[in-house]
Amino acid sequence: MSPARGARGRLRRLARLYRSFGPMLRPHRARIAGATAAMVGAMLAGLVAPWPMQMVIDGVLLGRRNAGMLGMLSGWLPQDPTALLVLCCVLVVAITAARAGFGYAQTILAATVGHRVVTELRAQLFARLQRLSLGFHSRQKTGDLLVRLTGDVSMLREVLLPALLDVASRVLVLVGMLALMAMMDPFLTLVAASLLPLLALVSGRYGRRIRAATRSQRKKEGRIASVAGEALSSVPVVQAFSGEDDVSERFATQNRRSLRAGLRTLRLEQTLTRSTEVVLAVGSALVLFFGARAATDGAMSPGELVVFLAYLRGMYRPVQGITRHVSRFNKAIACGERIFEVLESREQVAERPGARVPERIAGEIVFENVTFGYDPERPVLRDVSFRIPAGQRVGLVGPSGSGKSTTLALLLRLHEPQSGRILVDGIDIRDLQLDAWRRQVAIVLQEPFLFGISARENILFGRPDATDDEVVAAARAAGADEFLSALPDGYDAILGERGQSLSRGQQQRVALARAVLRDAPILVFDEPTTGLDAATEREIVATLSEMGRGRTCLWIAHDLEQILGCDRVIVLRHGRVEQDGDPERLMYVDGALRRLFREVG
């Protein structure tokens, strides 16, 4: 790829990045305008900063009052050398103070906009991740998504507006300095500007490599986060199997890979920076040589030469700054592309146009010829059909991999079937608003999934608008009120991450209270007693049975004895309904249910 094409491609990607942020930047127009005005003020102050020195050298020391700025402002300046010197000293302080003030205003205003926009972007990204389908999340590493949500978004904060204004300011300073230098000595200006194409070539060459290295580095940091997250969330298992060394070695391997990727990016960045410095040094040497010859020959005054050299250093400084920003922009492009991969993903369970909010449903569930596979070529469910009348309690059993949990996931519209449909009270659930439909279902899973917030807030997750009395009543119904009330802060006690400050049985009871509070007409129990001792399991089963009274209930259980109390049992095998009927009657028939009991002992 040619440097020109590569530069155009980078500019297109960068422009797309900023266009995407347009709606977020629009509410901050006043701050952006203020930052832009401050940028212009700082630029103008930078352009006039060298001239007091020229007036001191030529006007005060050498008495040449017709050279440079002295000649243009001769009618406005004092004739006395001492008075001129005092004025120049005052101008040095005033110009520096103005430049500092404008720079401060530009930085604060631009950084404020950057922080606010990135905060909004992080919220949008998190909300989008919550909405994407389970299929998307099953293919992603959790750690990589966390890096996108934190590190990648933070990278954009510095580049979003502060860096853009800084580059714009440097470009304007560069153009202004070139114009003033050309007025002073066109030949020296040509010498100084002759190296700019070489700088652009060097920047383009290394920019592509920095962007690719950054993408690789961010992916490897995502893998580190994934390995660390898995290990820290499974410390009991790791310690029980004496796997600390194995897990540490796996983490160390990913850590070393990230180190190598980070060092490669660093080497590329430093090579770009040092190459730029060498090119600029060559330009400075050439200008110094020809400028000194011109001053010796009287073509320009010593003061003008000092101003020209100051502009030269000032001109190359923006070039160096722009070069550094090239590296940052390339990093930002890589991070932005990773963020927009999530924001623009279409892997979401979508609502149909005109989807409606269901009234309180009775709870009849019908599967009609439903086929689904995580890989469409390998279906998990094949042409599954059954009808569950409202208020019936149904056990869903089958060997591992038969499609039980997949059936529940389809009912909750966590996935969409490849063919067939699912009806509730005769309505295709795809014709219902997604959130409104899911509010008609309460779930209790084998993993309680508690959050590191208060017990009250965990229960309120089932129905956020519930009153305190309703929360307590739900906890009592689930058998959780006694131990929650005994906590130091009662219901306001902060639970550990994933509820680790509670026992396994207590965690499940809080999850039950959450389901009770939801007060939904359809209940889904997916192996809710897994990992509990016998006494706790009996208590939980009794609570679940009471919860399911008068409601449609789907119950998956690892202990097949539990489903014998259901009104009906559906046996799945190899993704098909193999048997369906009253559990007590099916136990007397040599069929799928009886064979399943024999298999599990």
Cβ neighbours of residue 405 closer than 8 Å, sequence gap 6 or more: 526, 556
Cα separation, 342 vs 330, whole angstroms: 19
Q: Which amino acid is at 173?
A: V
Could you tell me where in the chain the CATH 3.40.50.300 domains are found?
365-600
DSSP string, 473-501: HHHHHTT-HHHHHTSTTGGGPBPPGGGTT
Q: 98-102, 211-215, 418-422, 562-566: which has the minimum mean pLDDT?
A: 211-215
What's residue 319's pLDDT? 64
- Indicate the pLDDT class of residue 159, thresholds 50, 70 and 90: low
Strand partners, 421: 368
Contact 200, 6 (CB under 8 A): no
Tokens standing for residue 50? 């060298």
Q: Is the pLDDT of residue 466 over 80?
A: yes
- The token pair that represents 9 in the structure block: 């491609």
Residue 207 · residue 74 · CB < 8 Å? no
Q: How confident is the model at residue 179 (pLDDT cuts 50, 70, 90)?
A: confident
CA distance 412 to 434: 9
Spatial strand order in the sheet of 393-397: 441-445, 522-526, 552-556, 393-397, 568-573, 576-581
216 or 12: whose pLDDT is higher? Answer: 216
Residue 101's pLDDT band (cuts 50, 70, 90):
very high
481 falls in which pLDDT band (50, 70, 90)?
Answer: confident
CA distance 312 to 306: 10
* 304 close to 68: Cβ distance less than 8 angstroms: yes
Question: Of the segments 143-152, 234-243, 563-572, which one has the largest average pLDDT value?
Answer: 563-572
Kindly tell me if the per-residue pLDDT of 60 is higher than 80: no
pLDDT in tens, 414-449: 888 889 999 999 999 888 888 888 888 888 887 777
Is 303:57 a contact under the CB 8 Å cutoff? yes
**Could you read off the pLDDT of 239-273 as tens digits, one per residue?**
555 566 777 887 788 888 888 888 888 888 788 77
Integer CA distances (angstroms), 561 to 15, 399, 579, 590, 598, in order: 63, 15, 17, 17, 12
Range picked from 133-147, 192-206, 398-412 for highest mean pLDDT: 398-412
Name the helix (H) or strand (E) containing 368.
strand 365-372
Q: What's the average model confidence in pLDDT over 55-63?
A: 72
- pLDDT classification of 237: cutoffs 50, 70, 90: low
Name the phi and psi angles at 565, rounded to 5: -85, 0
Task: Collapse the DSSP code of 377 into the 3-class scheme (helix H, G, I; strand E, B; otherwise coil) and give the result.
Answer: coil
**What is 72-113 written as a DSSP string?**
HTTTTS-SSHHHHHHHHHHHHHHHHHHHHHHHHHHHHHHHHH
Query: Would you state the pLDDT for residue 1?
Result: 47
pTM over 0.75? The answer is no
CB-based contact 534:504 (threshold 8 Å): no
Q: How far apart are CA 514 and CA 477, in angstroms?
A: 10
Q: Give 6 or 383, the one with higher predicted confidence.
A: 383
Nearest-angstrom CA–CA distance, 368 and 380:
15
pLDDT for residue 334 is more than 60: yes
**More confident: 468 or 53:** 468
Q: Tell me how many degrees the CA angle 284-287-288 measures, rounded to the nearest 5.
A: 80
Which range, 18-22, 230-234, 357-361, 515-519, has the best average confidence (pLDDT)? 515-519
Class of domain 16-343: mainly alpha
* Residues linked to residue 570 through DSSP beta bridges, in sequence order: 396, 580
Beta bridge partners of 442: 523
Q: Which residue has the higher pLDDT, 338 or 470?
A: 470
Would you give the DSSP letter of residue 424?
A: E
**Sign of dihedral through CA atoms 152, 154, 160, 162?**
negative
CB 314 within 8 A of CB 177: yes
- Find the mean pLDDT for residues 44-52: 81
What is the token pair recorded at 62?
Answer: 């050498």
How does pLDDT run across 304-316, given as a tens digit for each residue? 777 777 777 766 6
Nearest by Cα to 158 from 203, 126, 113, 122: 113
Cα 351 from chain centroid?
A: 24
Q: In which band, very low, low, confident or very high, does the pLDDT at 500 lie, cut at 50, 70 and 90?
A: confident
Q: Which two tokens stand for residue 56?
A: 């001191």
Domain 365-600 belongs to what topology? Rossmann fold (3.40.50)
Q: Report the distance separating Cα 535 and Cα 554, nearest Å.
A: 23
* Residues β-bridged to residue 366: 387, 423
Cβ(456)–Cβ(492) below 8 Å: yes
Q: Range(s) for CATH 1.20.1560.10 in the chain?
A: 16-343
Q: How would you label 258-279 residue by residue, b for 16+ Cβ within 10 Å and e otherwise?
A: beebbebbeebbeebeebbeeb
**Alpha-carbon span 252 to 324, nearest angstrom:** 31
What DSSP letter does each residue of 278-305 carry, written as one string?
A: HHHHHHHHHHHHHHHHHHHTTSS-HHHH
Q: Which tokens is 441 given? A: 């279902």
What does the angle CA 223 – CA 378 – CA 525 come to, to the nearest 5 degrees?
Answer: 75
Between CA 527 and CA 310 the distance in angstroms is 76
Percent of the chain at pLDDT > 70 equals 86
